[in-house]
Structure 1
Amino acid sequence: MASNTRILLEVCVDDVAGLNAAIEGGADRIELCSALALGGLTPSAGLMSVAARSPVPCYAMIRPRAGDFTYTAREIDMMTNDIFFAASAGLAGVVFGASLPDGRLDAETLRTLCDAVGSMPRTLHRAFDLVPDLAEAIDLAVECGFERILTSGRKKTAPEGLDDLAEAVRIAGGRISIMPGAGINLKTIEAILARLDVTEVHSSCSANSAIADPRIVALGFSEPTVKVTDVKLVRALKTRLKAAQ
């Protein structure tokens, strides 16, 4: 159900090679992380500084650890400082979220972090996929000034969450962008485009790559196979999105 509006491609990366591949492949925006295998954590200061000089807008993930999104006061201080650094480095925006133990968005923490962000653009991440009430969460995201919500429709992948994604788009009513993410690739994008009227999608555009040096694996420095951003997959997905306009 995609309209004639241009559909942007956001690619998530966690290293310089991925950053370069996303740029070369034609990504419209980059979500900058560390540890994508854990869902994405805050990138290093060095990676943020390099990304800030790229020709493509880069948003830094602000997530201090793996696990849930219920944060202590000290973790919120860390996140605030990371936001300040991302802004000082010249990044285009930031990505964050925070939850209460029952899965609802933590309004107090989100407002605190948004105060730190100021006018800097922001994305609400997949903490949204834990919420029990879509409308309540979307209203809060709008109130907090988020540009978009990255969501898989409260399922493991966006193709599985199409019903919730469609309902989120309906509830949002153009007040905020609903950006499908998780499990989006060349095979699954057709279902997304057929069902949802969205203006942007999120993908890792990654492929498996074997570690060539067995010593690296033997010493515990890496898993035998890792996912890497593939410039050909970025380019192919971007081409498909252009054709949907």
Structure 2
Amino acid sequence: MALLEIACFNTDSAVVASKAGADRIELCDNADVGGTTPPLSWLTGLRDKVKIPIYVMVRPRGGDFEYSLWELQQMRDTIMSFGSTADGFVFGILKSDRTVDITRTSELVKLAAPLPCTFHRAFDETADLFQALEDIITCEIRTILTSGGGSSAIQSCDVLAQLMKKAGDRVVVMPGGGVRATNIDELKEKTNALVYHSSALIAPQRVANVAETMQMKLILQLKT
């Protein structure tokens, strides 16, 4: 059965998503910039309330994905401090030419081991998605979160399907970007992905919508 990951930008959202049937949480702060590293206290406070896996965003700031030495050290420190409590990590590092920074990405993957890592939508900013796919596989990343390079996953179904075909069983390609109950059925039909990513937010709410989460999960169950 396909899994549903919900991006949560506060602890209330994580609790709601978990109760509504999400299979995994991506825990972040600062939704307005696409997510940054959350406070450690958020994760420790959730451990007794949320029993599904929680992956932690490792991103010291919004903006681009090329990081200074100081910012890279912040990312190392995050992994070290969250390592005993998190179930996985989410990050992405690029070079100035919009290619994957294989050296730094590999370093963080090794630091996080044995916890799994997801390469986030920095992937969609790369100059060549298919070369980036190969580079990320080299880094031993487990999952790639991507919209297929477009503004939303549903608009890039063909690219997502091509990425999944090329990836095979070497890495999980997880569609994300505008995924909602209104389009997850079509997305599943066209990509047959194993995992889907959504914030389940209905503006102006800042907490995952219960009905939205439940409906997406139901659709994935019916389509299995």
Write the distance in 1 (CA, Å) between the matches of 2:206 and 2:101.
32
Write the distance in 2 (CA, Å) between the matches of 1:7 and 1:142.
22
1:208 corresponds to which letter in structure 2? A
How much has 1:51 moved relative to structure 2? Answer: 3.0
1:80-139 residue CA offsets vs partner (Å, 9 max, x unmatched) = 000111112x11000001011121111111122122212211111011101222332122
Q: Which residue of 2 aligns with 1:167?
A: 162
Query: Contact (CA 8 Å) 2:9, 2:206: kept in 1 or not?
Result: no
Bigger Cα Rg: 1
1:72 aligns with 2:68: yes
1:208 aligns with 2:187: no
1:167-205 residue CA offsets vs partner (Å, 9 max, x unmatched) = 111110121110000100011112211210211100011
Q: How many residues align?
A: 223
SS in 2 for 1:228: coil
CA RMSD of aligned residues (A): 1.2
Gaps of 5+ in 1: 1-5, 210-225
Q: Which residue of 2 aligns with 1:37?
A: 32
TM-score where L is the length of structure 1: 0.87
Query: Contact (CA 8 Å) 1:51, 1:58: kept in 2 or not?
Result: no
1:195 aligns with 2:174: no
Query: Contact (CA 8 Å) 1:169, 1:197: kept in 2 or not?
Result: no
Query: Contact (CA 8 Å) 2:5, 2:195: kept in 1 or not?
Result: yes
Q: 1:84 aligns with which of 77, 80, 83?
A: 80
1:75 corresponds to which letter in structure 2? E
1:14-60 residue CA offsets vs partner (Å, 9 max, x unmatched) = 11110111011010000000012211110111112123342010000
1:63 aligns with 2:42: no
The percent identity for this pair of structures is: 32
TM-score where L is the length of structure 2: 0.95
Q: 1:228 aligns with which of 203, 207, 213?
A: 207
Query: Contact (CA 8 Å) 1:12, 1:33: kept in 2 or not?
Result: yes
Q: Which residue of 2 aligns with 1:156?
A: 151
Query: Contact (CA 8 Å) 2:146, 2:175: kept in 1 or not?
Result: yes
Q: Map of 1:73-112 to 2, 5 A cutoff?
A: 73-88=69-84, 90-112=85-107
Structure 1 residue runs of 4 or more that deviate by more than 6 Å after TM superposition: none
